[in-house]
Amino acid sequence: MPETNRQIVLDRLPGAEKLQPGHFRLTETPAPLPGEGEVLVRTRYISLDAANRAWMQGATYRSALQSGQVMAGGALAEVVDSRVEALKPGDLVWADTGWQDYAVLPGRRLSKLAPMQPETHLLSVYGVAGLTAYFGLLECGRPKAGETVVVSAAAGSVGSIVGQIARIKGCKAIGIAGGAEKGRWLTDELGFDAALDYKDPEFKRQLRGLGGIDVYFDNVGGDVFEACLFAMNLHGRVACCGALSQYDGAPPPHGPRGVPGLIVTKRLTLTGFVVMDFDDQREKALAELKGWVDSGQLKVSEDIVEGLENTPAALVGLLAGENRGKRMVKVR
Ligand SMILES: NC(=O)c1ccc[n+]([C@@H]2O[C@H](COP(=O)([O-])OP(=O)(O)OC[C@H]3O[C@@H](n4cnc5c(N)ncnc54)[C@H](OP(=O)(O)O)[C@@H]3O)[C@@H](O)[C@H]2O)c1
């Protein structure tokens, strides 16, 4: 049995400041022991998500984080000791472990996962990122072959999969990402038809040059959302997945212009969703994603940072655009 547990604590909430590694601290405590109905798990890979920062702003689909608590986060973990019938040492689970080596959780809050190689795919394409891309695009965006699909944060974990699924469905896939290098990666490595750099002063003109957007998969909100709204075609659909541009730092001075006017005149449909809304279709989605990965139509991009102690810097880096594909931290 383990004796000590390293934990990363959210020492101070960032408020309207940009998140820094200094908002966290590393501590060591005795490793916890499971009680009746509980399971001790060892964290293997921590999933890093833009939403980790949003949880510091207030309640979302989970309650707001408080300073002094172990930083929250989901992880791929291994059962070490179990006081429930359904789980045995060595089993792999998806668990809300937080940023620490070990966690004790009620057995009912753990999802047992079938082992696979590489096991990191359980956090990327077969985890929240892949399922969010799949359901957000296909159920909310409802693309038809030949249509133009635009996705923001396109080189990130969700976006990189959205554009590839759009291509698989016969659509033209345009990615919006920061910098020419990421754009080249999207077109040359992942097969996007084109990429636009939202930091380029010519961005809005280039966006208008696309000839109209049928489906916009919005990961970022803010100015990029507004620019896409103005470029939508009649009866276009917007899949509202997240508002990453608003998570880190002070809120923007104004909301997006064109709302509700453009929604009316262009007869747009905006659909907000949370991936859990589609839990009943999960198995079907995973089977389809697996088929695309196995046939080579869908490339999986993972960005793995080593060491629990590097988790705060890795999240700060994700918010600054360091990652390509799904960022996660290998704990052990
Ligand atoms: N609805 C759901 O169920 C659900 C589930 C999972 C995730 N999400 C949402 O999906 C989105 C993607 O999250 P993720 O965790 O997968 O992160 P990610 O896309 O892997 O990484 C974030 C990327 O966003 C870009 N970015 C950062 N600041 C930006 C800004 N101000 N404007 C435009 N782009 C910016 C950065 O790349 P650049 O270099 O391109 O700036 C960065 O690499 C988030 O909005 C998240 O909340 C929603």
Ligand 1 centroid–CA 128 distance in Å is: 13
Sheet bearing 172-177, strands edge to edge:
194-197, 172-177, 148-152, 213-218, 232-240, 269-272
Please tell me whether residue 178 adopts helix, strand or coil conformation. coil
Ligand 1 centroid–CA 159 distance in Å is: 8
What share of the chain in percent tops pLDDT 70?
Answer: 100
Residues 136, 90: Cα–Cα separation, whole Å: 33
- Whether 218 contacts 240, CB under 8 Å: yes
Nearest CA, atom 17, ligand 1: 50
Between CA 327 and CA 223, with CA 127 as vertex, the angle to 5 degrees is: 60
Measured from the CA of 160, which atom of ligand 1 is nearest? 19
Ligand 1 contact, 177 CB (< 6 A)? yes
Q: Give me the phi and psi of 232, to 5 degrees please.
A: -75, 150
Kindly state the tokens that stand for 189.
């490595």
- pLDDT tens digits for range 19-62: 999 999 999 999 999 999 999 999 999 999 999 999 999 888 78
Residues 302, 318: Cα–Cα separation, whole Å: 13
b/e burial code for range 187-216 (CB count within 10 A of at least 16 → b) = beebebbbbbbbeeeebbebbeebeebbbb
Length of the chain (residues): 332
Q: Which one, of 111, 72, 123, lies nearest residue 279 by Cα?
A: 111
Measured from the CA of 323, which atom of ligand 1 is nearest? 43
- pLDDT tens digits for range 131-185: 999 999 999 999 999 999 999 999 999 999 999 999 999 999 999 999 999 999 9
Please tell me whether residue 39 adopts helix, strand or coil conformation. strand
Strand 4-10 with 24-30, pairing:
antiparallel
- Bridge partners, residue 108, by sequence: none
Ligand 1 contact, 249 CB (< 6 A)? no
Ligand 1 contact, 104 CB (< 6 A)? no
Residues 288, 284: Cα–Cα separation, whole Å: 6
Ligand 1 contact, 129 CB (< 6 A)? yes
Cis peptide before 260 (omega within 30 of 0): yes
b/e burial code for range 79-90 (CB count within 10 A of at least 16 → b) = bbbbbbeebeee
Ligand 1 contact, 163 CB (< 6 A)? no
Residue 77 has pLDDT above 90, yes or no: yes
Measured from the CA of 245, which atom of ligand 1 is nearest? 31
For the chain, strand residue ranges (E) read 4-10, 24-30, 38-47, 75-82, 92-95, 102-106, 111-113, 148-152, 172-177, 194-197, 213-218, 232-240, 269-272, 302-306, 326-330
Q: At what angle do helices 282-294 and 128-135 cross, to 10 degrees?
A: 100
Ligand 1 centroid–CA 156 distance in Å is: 6
In a mutational test of the pocket of ligand 1, which residue from 126, 219, 319, 327 has the highest number of ligand atoms less than 8 Å from its CB?
A: 219
Residues 315, 57: Cα–Cα separation, whole Å: 15
pLDDT of residue 200: 97
Nearest CA, atom 42, ligand 1: 321
pLDDT of residue 250: 82
Nearest CA, atom 29, ligand 1: 245
Residues 126, 114: Cα–Cα separation, whole Å: 11
Ligand 1 contact, 133 CB (< 6 A)? no
Nearest CA, atom 43, ligand 1: 321
Residues 144, 209: Cα–Cα separation, whole Å: 21
Ligand 1 centroid–CA 243 distance in Å is: 8
Ligand 1 centroid–CA 1 distance in Å is: 38
Ligand 1 centroid–CA 246 distance in Å is: 10
Q: How far is CA 152 from CA 115, 120, 289, 294, in A?
A: 32, 24, 21, 26
- pLDDT tens digits for range 236-288: 999 999 999 999 988 777 889 999 999 999 999 999 999 999 999 999 999 99
Residues 101, 123: Cα–Cα separation, whole Å: 17
pTM beyond 0.85: yes
